[in-house]
Amino acid sequence: MSDQKTILRALAGETLPVPPVWMMRQAGRYLPEYRATRAKAGDFLSLCYTPDLAAEVTLQPIRRYGFDAAILFADILLVPQALGADLWFVTGEGPRLSTITSQSDFDALKPVEAIHETLGPVYETVKILSGELPSETTLIGFAGAPWTVATYMIAGRGTPDQGPAHALKAENRALFSALIDRLTAATIEYLSAQVEAGAEVVKIFDSWAGSLNGADFEDFALKPCLEITAALKARHPGLPVIGFPREAGEAYVGFAKATGVDCVALDNSVDAAWAAKHVQVDGCVQGNLASSHMVTGGQALVDETRAIVEAFSKGPHIFNLGHGITPDADPENVALMIETVREGRS
């Protein structure tokens, strides 16, 4: 048991003396070596689809910091692209996609079986990584949750309130549900192929789960996550799954039981002591330091890191940020965070 990787032990429900640690967006623009490799690739999507370079940026934060997990370098919006949507990134603004607002837009999408044609290079990246990562480092694959991915496909871009997706849901429930179902099926195939290529854990990012309420949360956050998790575990017995229903608030309570995920990732809008009591009772949790500490550093970073480690110390915990690290973060603050998490380790 104890020779198992720390992340896998925490995901299996073990309370460790020091929590394993990794960071969302750990391969990213705050690192000079990432910026250099991205410049070599030319643009963000070329970086995602060039296996040698995608593997290289995934490994950079592992070499620099010795994180306990590496997360595949890719993006949640590659799935819509693989289903036939146009996708491009506007520098300084974010993603743009062709929109899905009518039945004919939906009918033009490709069938689920076609996704591997586009996503083949991602599986190749996973294969390279599973050969190159240090033996103690866990490889995490990921995909966006259907609701979050649908919000980008419907609006054609990121939106502050996911208004266009909520509008389609209200106006044409059948079309909206068909899109969710297509994404659910595609996500199962995509994550399954990542596992076959060597991913040891998968994480489902539902970044906009917080804008779903009541029955909508059940239908479009819980149900797709349950379907994906059940299908993956049926195909790959014992596969650990992390769910991230960001800003779910009170709905974090019971999320693991309702979906079958092994670990619930928490954003930093929930109090760690509250989450230990109400969420960690059901199993492993991940989180939840505010990513702003990676910009500001200092004693506040140390104090808050210690407080989170302490709050979750009575149960299984993976230390992480509450959301991705931002480009203006100082790499020295990341080192300070890791050192603080591990200070009790002998």
Ligand X SMILES: Cc1c2[nH]c(c1CCC(=O)O)Cc1[nH]c(c(CCC(=O)O)c1C)Cc1[nH]c(c(CCC(=O)O)c1C)Cc1[nH]c(c(C)c1CCC(=O)O)C2
Nearest distance in Å: CB 181, ligand X: 21
C-alpha distances (whole Å) from 42 to each of 6, 55, 95, 157 are: 36, 16, 16, 22
Q: Distance between CA 114 and CA 302 in Å, rounded?
A: 48
Q: Decide whether 204 or 311 has the Cβ nearer to ligand X.
A: 204
Which residues contact residue 156 at a Cβ distance below 8 angstroms, ignoring those fewer than 6 apart? Answer: 96, 97, 98, 99
Cite the annotated binding site for substrate by residue number.
Answer: 25-29, 75, 152, 207, 323
Q: Is 140 exposed, middle or buried (0-12, 13-18, 19+ CB in 10 A)?
A: buried
Nearest distance in Å: CB 168, ligand X: 18
Answer yes or no: are the C-beta atoms of 203 and 287 closer than 8 Å: no
> 206: helix, coil or strand?
strand
Nearest distance in Å: CB 17, ligand X: 26
**Nearest Cα residue to 73 out of 118, 39, 38:** 38
236: left (phi over 0), alpha (psi -120 to 50) or beta: beta
Q: Decide whether 19 or 80 has the Cβ nearer to ligand X.
A: 80
Q: Decide whether 157 or 223 has the Cβ nearer to ligand X.
A: 157
Cite the annotated binding site by residue number.
Answer: 25-29, 75, 152, 207, 323
Give residues in contact with ligand X (CB under 6 A).
24-29, 38, 44, 71, 73, 75-77, 94-95, 142, 144, 158, 205, 207, 324
> Which residue is closest to ligand X by CB?
207
Nearest distance in Å: CB 61, ligand X: 8
Q: Decide whether 26 or 194 has the Cβ nearer to ligand X.
A: 26
Nearest distance in Å: CB 79, ligand X: 11
Answer yes or no: are the C-beta atoms of 321 and 267 closer than 8 Å: no
Q: Distance between CA 81 and CA 75 in Å, rounded?
A: 11
**Nearest Cα residue to 200 out of 228, 238, 229:** 238
Neighbours of 269 (CB within 10 A): 14
Q: What is the CA radius of gyration of the chain?
A: 19
Q: Distance between CA 58 and CA 12 in Å, rounded?
A: 24
Nearest distance in Å: CB 327, ligand X: 7
Enzyme catalytic residues = 25, 29, 38, 75, 152
Q: Decide whether 67 or 176 has the Cβ nearer to ligand X.
A: 67
Which residues contact residue 333 at a Cβ distance below 8 angstroms, ignoring those fewer than 6 apart? Answer: 293, 294, 295, 296, 297, 301
Q: Decide whether 95 or 316 has the Cβ nearer to ligand X.
A: 95
Between CA 166 and CA 11, with CA 48 as vertex, the angle to 5 degrees is 70
Q: Which two tokens stand for residue 184?
A: 């659910």
